[in-house]
Amino acid sequence: MKTLLAAAVVLLGTILQAAADPDPAKWDAVLAEAKGETVYFNAWGGAENINAYLEWTAGEMQKHFGVKLVHVKLDDTANAVAKVVAEKAAGRNEGGTVDLIWINGENFASMKAQGLLFTPGWAEKLPNWRFVDIANKPTIRTDFTTPVDGLESPWGMAKLVFFYDSARTDTASLPKSARDLLEWARQNPGRFSYPQPPDFTGSSFLKQVLVELVADRSVLQKPVDDASFARLTEPLFAYLDELNPLLWRSGRAFPKNYPDMKQLLADGELAIIFAFNPSEASSAIANDELPDTVRSFVFPAGTLANTHFVAIPYNAAAKAGALVLADFLISPEAQARKQDPKIWGDPTVLAMAKLDAQDKARFEALDLGIATLKPDELGPAIDEPHPSWMERLEKEWRNRYGVAN
């Protein structure tokens, strides 16, 4: 009897909480509730240009909506996920410390599976959702093979692109595939590296190589099968066994993250680096972080592509404020500013055909920069593997090659 009563109390609490949650379909009520709230936005804090963009966003949120934005700077998104997990375990189902989180891939899949996210469908009820390009950007509704179900709102697009300094590196020698890159590294020892996993950029490099070398790519769209993992990844780790000794510092140390790798290119220590933003090189040139001789290239057969998102934890203390922030982040004004290489250079999730003339002009006025490839030069987009692959690859990489930087 006591067990039934306790279950009923929990169920009633859940119903009452759901009833009390803001409804993005009633936007005026959301705006009224959000005014005066403080939104703790947990987002990667490792790049000055992104941090500066969020400082601008904070000013706009306060000025237009009366919402205070606090950027909680992360070095790993998993740390924010762990906070929410710990709060749920402690029974803290309201008043959580994370209001909005910059997320995608395995972290989203983990939160979705554990029921740690705000109500399904909220993202597609946001007022600015009407501008989102769902027709031409399928990864907006499928995040690393996981259906989004409106549990997160798109923020930007990503595609793996390589950069080099044309004043120091012969364009004709640039690799055209992962196998070419290994041969290039043999000819240019110490001139390439990748961030140490579990850094997102470094882990993405592992996935790019795996996708190119695996016999059947379709297996990567399914969860990892431990029984076949060693066999399927044998080509990747055989490749890394050859590549790592040829890397910067002979693979005894690795760049910490992309900004670290970018500095090594600027200093002339690395000849080729890579990022998940096609405009990153132009942005770095505009901000005097890289010389204006840096250019971009991709592998002709394709590179990984995905969408990155923001999500609201189920127990967020400022859900209304988080909704307003998520909506502002996909406004034409915020998206155009974000795509400007002088600001960030992160590609938009919006469809130009859905914008009015004034908003379309914001994007048309952007100078994407001398180092940014045109859309038809970016090559095919390769689907991300199922999120379970990233975690498994990172674990195996640490077991084989992990070093203390």
How does DSSP assign 321-344, residue by residue? HHHHHHHHHTSHHHHHHHH-TTTT
pLDDT value at residue 14: 47
pLDDT value at residue 19: 53
CA distance 296 to 245: 25
- Average pLDDT of 289-310? 96
Same domain, 138 and 75: yes
pLDDT value at residue 381: 87
68-103 confidence digits (pLDDT tens): 999 999 999 999 999 999 999 999 999 999 999 999
Same domain, 48 and 149: yes
Same domain, 333 and 236: no
Q: Give percent above pLDDT 70 in the chain.
A: 95
Is residue 16 over pLDDT 70? no
Range of the domain at 282: 161-305+379-401
Per-residue pLDDT band at 113 (split at 50, 70, 90) = very high
- Average pLDDT of 200-205? 95
- Average pLDDT of 337-351? 93
Dihedral sign for Cα atoms in the order 346, 347, 353, 354: negative
Q: What is the dihedral of CA 277, 281, 285, 291, to 10 degrees?
A: 160
Same domain, 255 and 332: no
262-292 confidence digits (pLDDT tens): 999 999 999 999 999 999 999 999 989 999 9
Per-residue pLDDT band at 222 (split at 50, 70, 90) = very high
The radius of gyration of the chain's CA atoms, rounded to the nearest angstrom, is 22
- Average pLDDT of 24-43? 98
Same domain, 69 and 141: yes
**Is residue 19 a part of any domain in this protein?**
no
Residue with tokens 């949650």: 21
Per-residue pLDDT band at 11 (split at 50, 70, 90) = very low
Same domain, 317 and 250: no
Same domain, 233 and 255: yes
Same domain, 185 and 243: yes
**Is residue 125 a part of any domain in this protein?**
yes
Is residue 324 over pLDDT 80? yes
Same domain, 75 and 104: yes
- Average pLDDT of 367-375? 90
Average pLDDT over the chain, rounded to an integer:
93
pLDDT value at residue 402: 84
130-174 confidence digits (pLDDT tens): 999 998 888 999 999 999 999 999 999 999 999 999 999 999 999
**Is residue 181 a part of any domain in this protein?**
yes
- Give the 3-state secondary structure of 108-172: HHHHHHCCCECCCCHHHHCHHHHHECCCCCHHHCEECCEECCCCEEEEEEEECEEEEECCCCCHH
Q: Give percent above pLDDT 90 in the chain.
A: 87
pLDDT value at residue 12: 46
**Is residue 12 a part of any domain in this protein?**
no
**Is residue 341 a part of any domain in this protein?**
yes
Same domain, 189 and 299: yes
CATH of the domain at 87: 3.40.190.10
pLDDT value at residue 136: 84
Query: Minimum mean pLDDT among 187-196, 221-230, 300-309, 396-405: which range?
Result: 396-405
**Is residue 9 a part of any domain in this protein?**
no
Same domain, 298 and 167: yes
Query: How many domains does the chain fold into?
Result: 2
pLDDT value at residue 375: 76
Same domain, 192 and 287: yes
With a CB cutoff of 8 Å and minimum separation 6, the contacts of 267 are none
**Is residue 265 a part of any domain in this protein?**
yes
pLDDT value at residue 405: 54
With a CB cutoff of 8 Å and minimum separation 6, the contacts of 248 are 190, 191, 192, 193, 254, 255, 264, 269, 270
**Is residue 8 a part of any domain in this protein?**
no
